[in-house]
Amino acid sequence: MSATHLPDTQNSVDTRQIIIDKVGIKDITHPITYIDCDGNKMPTIGIFTMTVSLPEHVKGTHMSRFIEILNEGPCEFSAHNFDRIINKVRERLKSDTAHITLNFPFFRKKKAPSSGVESIMDYQVTLYGTLNKGEAQVMMKVVVPVTSLCPCSKSISKYGAHNQRSHITIKAKVAKGKTLHIEDLIDLAERKASCELYAILKRDDEKVVTERAYDNPAFVEDLVRDIAVDLNADDKISYYRLESENFESIHNHSAYALIENQKC
């Protein structure tokens, strides 16, 4: 039997009259090329979740079409044109809405503060895209590892202060008509930390980052408040959710703080 004569069960009528908000594929791994803020193309690996809404009268969606979209030519995009692939999903699946969540490691070259030796830092990034009745919304989330040094420990100790690695997580919705880069959020988090991290440090670099952290102590509360000041003033961002988790070096728990703001 030829394919043209096979039954198309997905397109048969469903009589239960219930709309499905999201249906599609979850956690498919696929190579992508991400274009950074300078136009550089960065090959990496993405994990996609792709869904559409399903009308009450249609039995099922066409799952293979999601995969076909990823396999059509180079899967290449940046944060500001991510809505193109979302619209492609909506059109191909003939739906009013489409949603894509994409997780991937973002790599960035950094120079050590004293020696200047270059190394590559990785950051975990998530892009969220929604297209609903012609209106696209894009959100991005980045997890930035940094160093935080405890102000209390510094003030009461004779010989130093305890510090630890921290994760600053910023999830931001891009304001309509604006362009926001992943690097903008990374730079902001690293500026406000006690000190940023590097993959390679020579001895003179270790001295610099240790002393820099000591000169910039910050509670977990300080980290989120300092970053929130800049996020509040940034007209490229209409909403944000900001978290900091300090993996305490002298406690068997983490310190944690969160600020969320729907600006407009």
For the stretch 203-212, pLDDT in tens is 999 999 999 9
For the stretch 85-118, pLDDT in tens is 999 999 999 898 999 999 999 999 999 999 999 9
User: How would residue 9 be classed by pLDDT, with cut points 50, 70 and 90?
Assistant: confident
**CA–CA separation, 115 vs 188, rounded Å?**
23
**CA–CA separation, 1 vs 6, rounded Å?**
7
> How large is the average pLDDT for residues 170-187?
95
> Please, what's the largest Cα pairwise distance for the chain?
83
What stretches of the chain adopt beta strand conformation (E)? 20-35, 41-54, 76-77, 97-111, 118-132, 135-149, 163-174, 195-196, 237-247, 254-262
> How large is the average pLDDT for residues 156-170?
95
Residue 15 is encoded by which pair of tokens? 């009589």
pLDDT of residue 151: 96
Could you tell me if 195 and 214 are in contact, meaning their C-beta atoms sit under 8 angstroms apart? no
Is the pLDDT score of 4 beyond 70?
A: no
Is the pLDDT score of 6 beyond 80?
A: no
pLDDT of residue 69: 94
User: How would residue 15 be classed by pLDDT, with cut points 50, 70 and 90?
Assistant: confident
pLDDT of residue 2: 53
Q: Is 198 helix (H, G, I), strand (E, B) or coil?
A: coil
> How large is the average pLDDT for residues 119-137?
93
Is the pLDDT score of 201 beyond 90?
A: yes
Is the pLDDT score of 1 beyond 70?
A: no
For the stretch 141-155, pLDDT in tens is 999 999 999 999 999
For the stretch 25-78, pLDDT in tens is 999 999 999 999 999 999 999 999 999 999 998 898 889 999 999 999 789 999
pLDDT of residue 19: 93
pLDDT of residue 216: 97
Q: How many CA atoms lie within 13 A of 232 on its CB side?
A: 9
pLDDT of residue 109: 95
